């Protein structure tokens, strides 16, 4: 009788282990306004997960009569959300084999089809826990919007900005002189020809700022970066300090100058319209000589 009880208990435990608590996949929404058929897009949105530790993704797919089957990737939690038409989206991680964290971002890459189904679709997550494979389907409002024929437009040209924005750099409440390195506006320049269309390397930062007069500042000073006019969708900066090279998105429009030495900067602001079409970019250079 005791052996029978032990066997039943063992089977009960095994059964519990093969049915872990169902995870929660929470996907943020980014609502598109108009999308152009035949044009490629990147969508970045928040992606939160709650469930068993060491849960590994195997794939993410669209099910239920999708008009297209995009490619999915995972990005860092801090990645800026939105819909973009650029050719590159920065660092991204393959879905297969990715160990889920509490927070990350979901990246979707696709080309808008000539027509859509107007059918309801869902995201299907296939994941693995302790070698056992599971799947879950999740409703996503953004996906429903993308599958709507109301999102399609005939034109693939962005509306130009009414006024061209300008940079303003200040340090200790004083204006800092800078040099315009590059401008690319949709009226006469495509995104593929803009400054960030190709990766920026150290030598390029050095070359483009080599003739600029360094502004002497004290260690611990702050530089405030503002754009006057239409607010950009993002500002990316490249900083060269001796042998250190940094490329980051500007988060709060303020940068601290801490390390002593020559700081060579390139700031690039980028604009997109409501449909995610490229409107323009502008890059300026400035150099600081950071002392004691």
Domain boundaries, the chain: 22-151, 166-291
Residue 103 has pLDDT above 60, yes or no: yes
173 dihedral zone (left: phi>0; alpha: psi -120 to 50; beta): left
Concatenating the DSSP letter of every residue in 129-185 gives ETTEEEEEEEE-HHHHHHT-GGGB-S--PPPPPSS--EEEEEETTEE---EEEEEEE
Q: How far apart are CA 193 and CA 199, in angstroms?
A: 12
pLDDT tens-digit profile of 52-100?
889 999 999 998 867 678 999 999 998 888 888 777 788 899 999 999 9
Query: Is residue 158 a contact partner of residue 186, using CB atoms and an 8 Å limit?
Result: yes
Q: Kindly indicate whether the domain formed by 166-291 is annotated with CATH number 2.60.40.
A: yes
How does residue 20 score in pLDDT terms, banded at 50, 70 and 90? low
What pLDDT, in 10s, does the model give residues 229-285? 999 999 999 999 988 999 999 988 999 999 999 999 999 999 998 778 899 999 999
pLDDT band at 168 (very low <50, low <70, confident <90, very high): very high
DSSP codes of every residue in 120-144 = --EEEEEEEETTEEEEEEEE-HHHH
Q: Give the separation between CA 257 and CA 217, rounded to whole angstroms.
A: 8
CA–CA dist 256, 222 (Å, integer): 4
What are the tens digits of pLDDT across the range 113-155? 877 766 768 999 999 999 999 999 999 988 888 877 666 665 5
Does 14 score more than 60 pLDDT? Answer: no
Q: Residue 269 contacts by C-beta under 8 Å, 6 or more apart in sequence?
A: 165, 167, 227, 232, 234, 235, 281, 282, 283
The mean pLDDT value of the chain amounts to: 86
Task: Return the pLDDT at 111.
Answer: 87
Tokens of 155: 């034109």
The answer on pLDDT for 29 being more than 60 is yes
- Average pLDDT of the residues in 40-46: 91
pLDDT at 152: 65
Retrieve residue 57's tokens. Answer: 């993704």
Residue 15 has pLDDT above 50, yes or no: no
pTM: 0.52
168: which 2 tokens?
């303003």
What mean pLDDT comes out for the span 191-210?
A: 90
Task: Count H helices and E strands in the chain, helices first.
Answer: 3, 19
């Amino acid at each position: 009788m005791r052996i029978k009880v032990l066997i039943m208990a063992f089977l009960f435990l095994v059964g519990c282990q093969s049915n872990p608590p169902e995870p929660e996949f929470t996907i943020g929404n980014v609502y598109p306004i108009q999308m152009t058929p035949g044009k490629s897009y990147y969508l970045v949105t928040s992606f939160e997960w709650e469930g068993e530790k060491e849960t590994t993704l195997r794939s993410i797919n669209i099910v239920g009569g999708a008009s297209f089957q995009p490619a999915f990737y995972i990005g860092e939690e801090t990645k800026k959300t939105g819909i973009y038409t650029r050719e590159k989206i920065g660092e991204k991680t393959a879905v297969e084999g990715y160990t889920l964290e509490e927070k990350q971002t979901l990246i979707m890459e696709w080309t808008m089809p000539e027509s859509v189904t107007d059918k309801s679709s869902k995201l299907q997550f296939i994941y693995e826990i302790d070698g056992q494979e599971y799947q879950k389907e999740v409703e996503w409002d953004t996906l429903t919007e993308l599958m709507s024929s109301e999102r399609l437009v005939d034109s693939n040209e962005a509306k130009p900005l009414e006024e061209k924005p300008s940079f303003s750099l200040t340090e200790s409440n004083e204006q800092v002189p800078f040099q315009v390195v590059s401008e690319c506006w949709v009226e006469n320049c495509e995104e593929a020809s803009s400054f960030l269309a190709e990766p920026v390397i150290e030598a390029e930062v050095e070359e483009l700022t080599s003739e600029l007069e360094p502004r002497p500042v004290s260690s611990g000073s702050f530089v405030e970066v503002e754009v006057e006019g239409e607010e950009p969708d993002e500002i990316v900066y490249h900083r060269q300090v001796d042998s250190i090279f940094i490329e980051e998105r500007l988060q709060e429009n303020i940068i601290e100058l801490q390390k002593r030495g020559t700081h060579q900067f390139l700031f690039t602001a980028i604009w997109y319209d409501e449909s995610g079409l490229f409107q323009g970019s502008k890059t300026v250079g400035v150099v600081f000589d950071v002392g004691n």
